[in-house]
Structure 1
Amino acid sequence: MIFIFSKILIFILQPIVWVFVTLLFSLFSKSKIRKKNLLIFAVILLFVFSNRFLAGKVYNFYEAEYPKKKKYDVGILLGGFSKSTQSDEFAVNERGDRLVQTIYLYKTGIINKILISGGSGKLIGSESIEADLTSDYLKKIGIPDTAVIIENKSKNTIENAKYSLVLINNNKPNSSVMVITSAWHIPRSKMIFNKVFNRELDYYPTDFIGKAHYNISDYYLPDAGTLSYWEYILKEWVGLIVDRIRS
């Protein structure tokens, strides 16, 4: 029930939905003053949520920094970075840097094994299991099966942590662990994983959205892609609330 509720809430909290609903109210409003005010409000909403600078500063505050360099027994790669093509082949989405950095960490000897944690997070229907597809891809590029652990049942971050802990305890209890995920996903991941593992883990941030420096256009010109950035961060905040309720 909470899983379904969280999906519905995430949809409702999308900024583009707010703009669309406001425009609908404006369209069907009989009052000229209310119609005008709603239209102005929709424009303001669209400007705020498409402003690259405002979104970037929120991410600058929220995104985690790199951990100190050391070696780990296991790197837990959190899912949500892949998609299927029309021919049902493996491909990465805008969070593909999670996979890229995991391969880098393995190839440079920072992590000894890769634990891929990701099943299907779809509410309706079915899709290919992310962990299985990723494992096949890693094998194709030369990473041996012995270096990969597959966790393909989880649907959310809490299950990522719980199922990963079981696999680690079955393979090598008390392994040194680093969680690899998007920089903006680390605050919630840290809250969950540290509690489930009952110890402090390290976290490796990927696919940063916040910038070190902003262009003049970031301050004034609307950017359609920025709407999705707000969707990501709102999803994280909703997730924090839902996870606290579940725990």
Structure 2
Amino acid sequence: MSGVEVLFALLQPSNIVFLVLLAGLLVAFRRRRSGLALLTVGVVLYGVVGFLPVGQLLLRPLETRFPFKGIVEPPDGIIVLGGFIAPLPPYAHNQVNLNDAAERLVAAASLAHRFPDVPVIVTDGGGTRRNRSGAEQAAALLRQMGVPQSQLVLETRSLSTWDNARFSYDVVQPKPGERYVLVTSAWHMPRSVATFHHAGWPELVPWPVDYVEDDRPLWRSLQFSAARGLRQMDEAVREYVALAYYRLTGRIDTWLPGPGA
């Protein structure tokens, strides 16, 4: 995990709400009125972010930038971005553990069966001497789902979307005029497509999955789980921060990439 990711992990919105509540509790021991004011702010933030569709409102522009269009002709490759392996030791409880982004893996398996002669490039690092990389763990699951080893191409070094793009480029060496399906979460697609283009990849067919926003009017999307609302808020803010960081460091060319960007 990079320093930027560590910093955000500490300062993500759900943690800030907790810190405001904690500060209010501590201040209340010495200055009751100020402490109660902070506690009130914390409770309001918790309610607004947790139960109102604030996270969905922020995710909607990201998830609608690259609408799903499908594909008819076989592509030259299928790229699936990692991030769906849960941060637990491989085969804890005798299985590979997945998180909420597991739809990426399912979509990759479906595409692999649909186009059996097309290579599936799985890009995900994070391995150590004791633990296998995310790509290796994903490959084990894909084999269990009927995808042959001969169809799999693994990139095992990447720790970020930027790494996914350049390291998998080095492995695949795509040629001009080729076309690759890119599988990742819908909210992650704008940054992914822009980063892969910047790294030199030719035509990409976005294959967004793992949608959070469901196109209902926001007033009908009230949360009944504060944990879910806080998680969506964290996810949205993290992606906007990542977009800004990638733009400022020259890894993408626009603040909110879209088709043709």
Which TM-score tier does this pair reach, normalised by the shorter chain?
Answer: 0.7 to 0.9
- What is the match of residue 66 of structure 1? 68
**Larger mean Cα displacement after TM superposition, 11-20 or 37-46:** 11-20
CA distance in 1, matches of 2:147, 2:225: 42
- What is the match of residue 190 of structure 1? 193
The aligned amino acid for 1:135 is A
- TM-score normalised per structure 2: 0.82
CA distance in 2, matches of 1:36, 1:110: 62
Cα distance change, pair 230–104 in 1 and its aligned pair in 2 (3 A): same
Query: What percent identity do the matched residue pairs reach?
Result: 24
Shift of 1:76: 0.6
Cα distance change, pair 10–148 in 1 and its aligned pair in 2 (3 A): same
User: Are residue 37 (structure 1) and residue 76 (structure 2) matched?
Assistant: no
Counting only pairs closer than 5 Å after superposition, residues 143-222 of structure 1 correspond to structure 2 as: 143-169=147-173, 173-174=175-176, 175-197=178-200, 199-213=202-216, 218-219=221-222, 221-222=224-225
Shift of 1:198: 5.3
Shift of 1:185: 0.4
Judge conservation of contact 2:53–2:229 (CA < 8 Å) in 1: no
CA distance in 2, matches of 1:110, 1:216: 44
Cα distance change, pair 135–220 in 1 and its aligned pair in 2 (3 A): closer
CA distance in 2, matches of 1:60, 1:127: 36
Cα distance change, pair 41–126 in 1 and its aligned pair in 2 (3 A): farther
**Larger mean Cα displacement after TM superposition, 236-245 or 208-217:** 208-217
CA distance in 2, matches of 1:52, 1:121: 38
Query: What number of residue pairs does the alignment pair up?
Result: 241
Judge conservation of contact 1:72–1:110 (CA < 8 Å) in 2: no
CA distance in 2, matches of 1:218, 1:121: 38
Cα distance change, pair 239–116 in 1 and its aligned pair in 2 (3 A): same
The aligned amino acid for 2:125 is G
CA distance in 2, matches of 1:202, 1:188: 14
- TM-score normalised per structure 1: 0.86
Secondary structure of the 2:215 match is: coil
- What is the match of residue 102 of structure 2? 96
Structure 2: gaps of 5 or more residues: 251-261
Superposed CA RMSD in Å reads 2.6
Shift of 1:121: 8.2
Structure 1: gaps of 5 or more residues: none
User: Which of 6, 9, 15 is the equivalent residue of 2:7?
Assistant: 9
